[in-house]
Structure 1
């Protein structure tokens, strides 16, 4: 037998059968749809014909775990889906009522991430994509630069996203400066373009809505790159990112100018602004490599890094 023998492929229906027994609902539904060969548009037509209309957006959310069917009409639609997709009666419904197998958490509210009285909230909510984005972030890579005066100077971001719905495909990014009065500037984009940008000088915020460079179909992935420049020139000792949705992987790296290394550095998680730091992890500091922290399965909340100067 070869040392690295490849096992025979698992029969297509076996994983579906196992997932119908163990959950979660979103994975079972996704496997059943894939096995059926029916697209979301055809499923939508079948449901409408049965008298339980459901949009393709909602079907996409159900199969990715972004939302769950909970209302009575949605549960009736699931029973129709069981028949259309050829799975045993009540097999999907029972997954929804079974404890211990949660699907992907619902996105948290901006109020939890910024604080209920933060003046940025009305502007955030004025962007449609801020509350219901059609792009799911799979991978997020951030590179922050700190100059010899200990000031944040530049933030470069690279995201890999997957399209969850059509036709709206946009996302909103918000960045706060170190002090009120001089907010950061969006200085460049790649593979995407800004369609609306709001600057809040008194709060030190810039908010921009980005769309990919081309229209994409549901299920496709895209790369979004964008860069902010800090303008306040004020020394700082930390940076954080707010997550409304889970992210599969997050890499934050901080590049300190040569000869400007902090004394200590650590990564942390917050459930809400002003809360206690959790999952505190020491981050090595070395002139040979940027300080960085890599996390997988990042849950909604606040992730950041702090450092102290000698």
Structure 2
């Protein structure tokens, strides 16, 4: 049964029909909500009554494009929304499942990257932007610094991103320290700002949600720069980055203090944290120059560098 008493203007009807046919999902949901006359609180009540509760904050993020439904519970909620909003079956879910929707492939699960029993997973899932796809990472440049004590000292990151849906949502980044109880800390940002940071002291994690310094239009390019500082004093022999989405290019450079120059270094790829190292390649190490590893068209998974001393 329609949820509005007076038909909307013909132009609005045509706009909704076109967006339901072409996407994006966020725009279609927003127009459908406007047409229904229901507020987010009432929509939330309908979803709760149907057994698929969704917070008004999450509904707001879905309609503005800051996040999108990814998990089975969320997709069931979208199916209920189609009925509540008087839309044809699969009109919204079809936009989510369409190949190439939102301009980016579906991300791999956090479980694949961190392991199904990792204690960081519940905190990652608490970030509404953890399943983001509105920012497409075009280029990722990381600089890791190893001190004379052979401990990781700091990590500097520069990301070049393109907005593929608006409003632009956040980037969620997670970094693990080398010892329990001594997590890294976010010490600076440039061209972006942290809107939320969670520290998991015991497992040694820090998770930050970063947003661009200003709203971006669809197609616009931006730079995000941020720096973490390691706080533990445990020597480490590797650094890796975990990719949920493909990235056009990735460069990691490891700067060793002259007193801590390793005897060997190699790059590798993992499908998961318990996987076997693949695509192993020797990386030259020399005084006064960083160890470098560059890859293009990087797929989802784990990529890193490993080194050792005599």
TM beyond 0.5: yes
Residue 165 of structure 1 and its aligned partner are, at CA, apart by 1.5
Question: Map of 1:44-59 to 2, 5 A cutoff?
Answer: 46=14, 48-49=16-17, 52=20, 55-57=23-25
User: Take 1:48 and 1:285, find their aligned partners in 2: how far apart are those partners?
Assistant: 58
> Number of residue pairs matched?
238
Residue 53 of structure 1 and its aligned partner are, at CA, apart by 6.0
Aligned to 2:63: none
Aligned to 1:265: 265
Task: Tell me: CA distance 1:54–1:266, structure 2 relative to 1, closer, same or farther (3 Å).
Answer: same
CA offsets, 1:12-69, max 9 Å, x none?
Answer: xxxxxxxxxxxxxxxxxxxxxxxxxxxxxxxx97562369466534689xxxxx99xx
Question: Map of 1:230-245 to 2, 5 A cutoff?
Answer: 230-245=230-245
User: Take 1:106 and 1:291, find their aligned partners in 2: how far apart are those partners?
Assistant: 32
User: Take 1:139 and 1:302, find their aligned partners in 2: how far apart are those partners?
Assistant: 16
Residue 74 of structure 1 and its aligned partner are, at CA, apart by 5.3
Task: Tell me: CA distance 1:267–1:59, structure 2 relative to 1, closer, same or farther (3 Å).
Answer: farther
Contact 2:132 2:170 in 1 (8 A): no
Stretches of structure 2 that go unaligned for 5 or more consecutive residues are 1-11, 29-67, 70-78, 80-88
Contact 2:113 2:272 in 1 (8 A): yes
Given the alignment of the two structures, is residue 123 of structure 1 paired with residue 123 of structure 2, yes or no? yes
Give the 3-state SS of the residue equivalent to 1:108 in structure 2. coil
Given the alignment of the two structures, is residue 299 of structure 1 paired with residue 299 of structure 2, yes or no? yes
Aligned to 2:46: none
Give the 3-state SS of the residue equivalent to 1:128 in structure 2. coil
User: Take 1:152 and 1:177, find their aligned partners in 2: how far apart are those partners?
Assistant: 9
User: Take 1:290 and 1:270, find their aligned partners in 2: how far apart are those partners?
Assistant: 23
Residue 106 of structure 1 and its aligned partner are, at CA, apart by 2.2
Q: Which is worse superposed, 271-280 or 130-139?
A: 130-139
Task: Tell me: CA distance 1:51–1:228, structure 2 relative to 1, closer, same or farther (3 Å).
Answer: closer
Contact 1:133 1:171 in 2 (8 A): no
Contact 2:140 2:250 in 1 (8 A): yes
User: Take 2:13 and 2:231, find their aligned partners in 1: how far apart are those partners?
Assistant: 52
Give the 3-state SS of the residue equivalent to 1:49 in structure 2. helix
Residue 134 of structure 1 and its aligned partner are, at CA, apart by 1.8
Stretches of structure 1 that go unaligned for 5 or more consecutive residues are 1-43, 61-65, 79-92, 97-102
Residue 75 of structure 1 and its aligned partner are, at CA, apart by 11
Aligned to 2:171: 171
Give the 3-state SS of the residue equivalent to 1:272 in structure 2. coil
Task: Tell me: CA distance 1:143–1:54, structure 2 relative to 1, closer, same or farther (3 Å).
Answer: same
CA offsets, 1:96-143, max 9 Å, x none?
Answer: 7xxxxxx96421000100000000000000101111242111100000
Given the alignment of the two structures, is residue 208 of structure 1 paired with residue 176 of structure 2, yes or no? no
Contact 2:251 2:293 in 1 (8 A): yes
Aligned to 2:148: 148
User: Take 2:170 and 2:19, find their aligned partners in 1: how far apart are those partners?
Assistant: 32
Contact 1:57 1:164 in 2 (8 A): no
